[in-house]
A and B are shown apart, each in its own frame.
Chain A
């Protein structure tokens, strides 16, 4: 069972603007009066795209291949499981850090929001791609919620997906670096070839 690395097209990572704004704590309609802010957010949207290097590491195997503590309680009756780690890469982190150092808090806030929505968009794109191939499955699930501990990230990233530390670092707390990184699980109800 070898994990695979996939480099998705940037179009997989472009967040819906409404979601991006919402994540930043804004509502487009109520902010229309402040068009300078709208323009700033658009600039940052376009800037952020230049700073991401999206990658997905993924592995699909029969459910029995995975330790029971990794499989959420809600995944009963699944036949197989896909685990994947997605990241936008380190350059966006560095950009946000640099701006933070210069006390550009607004830019940081908006880029953070953009990054989170972009990562979610990437996950959703990959999720759709998987479902097309694997048929009916569970909802996408990330460690840190429900019955699966966030510290499982270390096992997922290092042992299952075998991602080098230079690409994704996992802290003792389960937090990952680059910061725009997630791990996800989806269970499948049919056997996979």
Chain B
């Protein structure tokens, strides 16, 4: 099977993967330290498990080779069996069932950390994966799956190793995260997604460590941002020991329920990891059946990342220029001596000053070697610095840097000259990231037209490679003003490129080379460039005037560079709609430092609940959201009430609710009660099947401002009229509202009561009726 065929298959239907091998074979009594040895010692046992997975409905089965790489086998003194174990695994998987299934070779991590977090070099990891992948491919797998990776750099080594062997084999790449959405090495799901979106893999996904429930929010993130088809393999919960046996708590039904959610979020391949056995797979295939994958709406967000840091490039990107060994000879010699303390200090300073990324210019590249570049990148990685813009001239050193870099970088830069551009484009395609393209070929063009001609040529080359122009910044070339260059050419080039929808970046400080008062010139020119449509800049972030002008100009253009903060009200809405009580109370504590509880209750929380009511009325949220928000708000209202002195708190309007006699349906009434309470009403709920006489006596006792009745059945709806009449007979002129499936506006009018279609209408009605009543009283 090739990548195109696999891609078509992924569009046609959701593919079912198998479950675990290790935990399942151990459960069946195998006590081998390395379960993969069963491929040689008990192949029938492995085949039997795979046949059970196939019978359960799996489309793809994995080879029993998770730990069968040289580094892991070495620790079991089985290094010499690598080829036999892997080849046998493919043969077993092929021979299981009817033989029509897809067989994917399974590659797990090496078990060692890569430099700089551990001792393993990128190269050795690369070779290790390549060796196992080669064996599996030669033995005849249909594709490969890289799984349970906790180090983005290790995963990248594996992807490159596979792709250098075979560019047309289907490849799935999965990482494992904790319940906070971080890998052991600090990579977030979003960073994983942004890096893997660029790499030559066919499917990206999550597996292991987490139960389905814990994995769901992380998968939600992946589903929002992944440009690739998605796979998912949760564990069957957290293992526990019971009678000496490891037990996984997630039942097949629970697993299947969540798989349905993953499918809803757009999963293309679903299966299970530790603790998931054939019963789970059977429940999953039964629940999902034969279905096409859901189409996802992917949010295309351009960003750059390091291993642990992600920065969006929109609306504006600021790159610090000061790690520039070309301009600072001391940096050059420090790199040669592998002393990176000054570089790390500069990285930290620029971050403090507000840079999104750091430009890394290693100076005269003939003076440095591959090892020094590797160490430099590793050191920056180890200190979790900002994402890097690699300002390298030498292609081979650039490639060394990119191999070592576990993130989505900027490659700065390429000319529009075909050979150079093609080479740099290949690096971008291989390692991922964003490319800066200069608006020149060999010589700097002197006119706007000739710079645009270079852009035109570059675009025709870029589009042939299939790379999106969203991943390209064009540099319109800033030349020293002091040597008589006309800055208007740069400005006009930016304007024209902006008009064409292309993104531009400049190296700002070139303008003022050799001139006094550089900061003033840089700041003024930057303002002009921003007005012309500039989208990114490489500058000296220590220049205060430049940074202030940048901040002001972006604000004028409503392009605040800092991430737009969620408005207080929106933040509150989010907390309410998600039922995040703890977070809500943290926010309340902060609010209480400035405002009193009565104000917060009336002017902060109440309007938020009204907004939520509107969202519900507009069908932008659904009933469960409304209820969750109301319940969450209720706790906050109660808290505020407890803080408001008795003398200040006004008497709450009181409402009696009841389901009429003969009717036992009260869900609608409960919802109404919840919404009313969350809006400050006192609610007395008399329950279900309540005779008219009891409603009357409770009204006499509690003197409510309004009575709300619920009637679901056609056989009970007439009781509403009975209650209304009984209230009148008792001399109680209390407004009555009614709702329920059998009630409608006409009927309500005939009974002399008000009709509320749903809880939000009931709330509005209560407010109107009670306010009207109190006005009448006042007039009276």
Contacts and interface: CB of A to CB of B under 8 A. Distances in A.
Given A17-B257, A109-B624, 7 more contacts: A24-B624, A25-B622, A25-B624, A39-B213, A42-B261, A45-B257, A173-B663
B459 interface: no
A49 B256 CA distance: 15
B631 A106 contact: yes
A27 B294 CA distance: 14
A30 interface: yes
Contacts of A14: 253
A68 interface: no
B716 interface: yes
Given A32-B264, A32-B265, A42-B258, A106 B627 contact: yes
Contact of B216 (A35, A105, A150): A35
Interface in B248-283: 251, 253-254, 257-258, 260-261, 264-265
A174 B713 contact: yes
A32 B265 CA distance: 7
A112 B667 contact: yes
Contacts of B673: 103, 105
B180 to A, nearest CB: 15
Given A150-B713, A151-B715, A26 B261 contact: no
B436 to A, nearest CB: 35
Contact of A105 (B220, B251, B578, B674): B674
Nearest to A176: B664
Contacts of B258: 42
B257 A105 contact: no
Contact of A179 (B253, B664, B670): B664
A104 interface: yes
A49 B252 CA distance: 14
Contact of B257 (A46, A106, A173, A179): A46
Contacts, number: 113
Given A17-B257, A103-B673, A173 B624 contact: no
Interface of A: 14, 17, 24-39, 41-42, 45-46, 49, 100, 103-106, 108-110, 112, 144, 150-151, 171-175, 177, 179
Contacts of B666: 100
B623 A171 contact: no
6 contacts: A17-B287, A42-B257, A46-B254, A100-B666, A109-B624, A173-B663
Contacts of B714: 144, 150
Given A36-B579, A39-B216, A25 B257 contact: no
Nearest to B574: A34
A27 B619 CA distance: 11
B217 interface: yes
Given A105-B631, A109-B667, A36 B578 contact: yes
Interface-centre pick from A35, A112, A177, A179 (highest chain B CB count, 10 A):
A35
A29 B264 contact: yes
Interface string B153-181: 00000000000000000000000000000
3 nearest interchain CB pairs? A173-B662, A105-B674, A106-B627
Interface of B: 213, 216-217, 220, 223, 251, 253-254, 257-258, 260-261, 264-265, 287, 294, 577-580, 622-625, 627-628, 630-631, 634, 662-667, 670-671, 673-674, 677, 689, 713-716
A12 B655 CA distance: 42
B287 to A, nearest CB: 8
A160 B194 CA distance: 66
Contact of A38 (B216, B223, B677, B713): B216
A143 B261 CA distance: 36
A26 B628 CA distance: 13
A26 B623 contact: yes
Interface-centre pick from B223, B624, B671 (highest chain A CB count, 10 A):
B624
A27 B622 contact: yes
B452 to A, nearest CB: 42
Given A171-B689, A173-B713, A35 B220 contact: yes
A144 B741 CA distance: 14
A108 B667 contact: yes
Contacts of B674: 103, 105
Contact of B625 (A34, A105, A172, A175): A34
Nearest to B257: A42
Contact of A108 (B294, B580, B670): B670
B577 A109 contact: no
Contact of B213 (A25, A42, A106): A42
A50 to B, nearest CB: 11
Contacts of A172: 662
Nearest to B251: A46
B736 to A, nearest CB: 20
A46 B715 contact: no
Contacts of B631: 103-106
Contacts of B216: 35, 38-39
A36 B217 CA distance: 8
B713 A175 contact: yes
B726 to A, nearest CB: 18
Contacts of B217: 35
A122 B662 CA distance: 26
Interface-centre pick from A109, A177, A179 (highest chain B CB count, 10 A):
A109
A78 to B, nearest CB: 26
B664 A177 contact: yes
B739 to A, nearest CB: 15
A30 B257 contact: no
Contact of B662 (A28, A41, A42, A175): A175
Nearest to A103: B674
Contacts of A110: 624
A33 B624 CA distance: 13
Nearest to A42: B257
Nearest to B634: A103
B670 A100 contact: yes
A174 B223 CA distance: 49
Interface-centre pick from B217, B670, B713 (highest chain A CB count, 10 A):
B670
B193 to A, nearest CB: 16
B682 to A, nearest CB: 13
